[in-house]
Amino acid sequence: GQNIDQPTEMTATEGAIVQINCTYQTSGFNGLFWYQQHAGEAPTFLSYNVLDGLEEKGRFSSFLSRSKGYSYLLLKELQMKDSASYLCAVRDANTDKLIFGTGTRLQVFP
């Protein structure tokens, strides 16, 4: 079966660091994506991991462990504008389709 799990909601303080976890079970794996989605808007691509390890891009980093079926998105120096939902999506190697999690709604407080 296919399953993507991520926490429903998280809160953090401006300037802090937050880690959003994602675990997955798919019949075949060919890459993991993180998207940011502000309320009522389209998902925006943040990061892509296909090999184990950490990918860093400015304030955002994403980590992947294929053997554990696990990824996290790390957001540093949080800003108010980072308040959004963060979607984890896995590309199924057999179908090439993206399987999305339900998203983690992050609220950043002053």
Partner 1 sequence: DAMVIQNPRYQVTQFGKPVTLSCSQTLNHNVMYWYQQKSSQAPKLLFHYYDKDFNNEADTPDNFQSRRPNTSFCFLDIRSPGLGDAAMYLCATSRDPGGGAGAKNIQYFGAGTRLSVL
Is there binding between residue 98 and partner 1 (CB under 8 A)?
Answer: yes
In angstroms, the Cα distances linking 97 to 2, 8, 32, 76, 88 are: 12, 23, 11, 30, 13
* Residue (of 101, 46, 99) closest to 74 by Cα position: 46
As measured in angstroms, the least distance from the Cβ of 1 to partner 1 is: 15
Stretch that binds partner 1, among 10-18, 53-61, 76-84, 93-101 (CB under 8 A): 93-101
The distance of Cα 19 from the centroid of its chain, to the nearest Å, equals 9
Contact positions with partner 1 (CB under 8 A) in 33-92: 33, 35, 40-45, 48, 50, 87, 91
Is there binding between residue 12 and partner 1 (CB under 8 A)?
Answer: no
As measured in angstroms, the least distance from the Cβ of 5 to partner 1 is: 11
As measured in angstroms, the least distance from the Cβ of 31 to partner 1 is: 5
Long-range contacts made by residues 40-49, C-beta under 8 angstroms, separation at least 24?
43/87, 46/73, 46/86, 47/73
User: 4 or 12, CB closer to partner 1?
Assistant: 4
Is residue 96 left, alpha or beta, with left meaning phi > 0 and alpha meaning psi from -120 to 50?
Answer: left
Q: What DSSP character marks residue 95?
A: T
Contact residues toward partner 1 (CB under 8 A) are 4, 30-31, 33, 35, 40-45, 48, 50, 87, 91, 93, 96-98, 100-103, 105
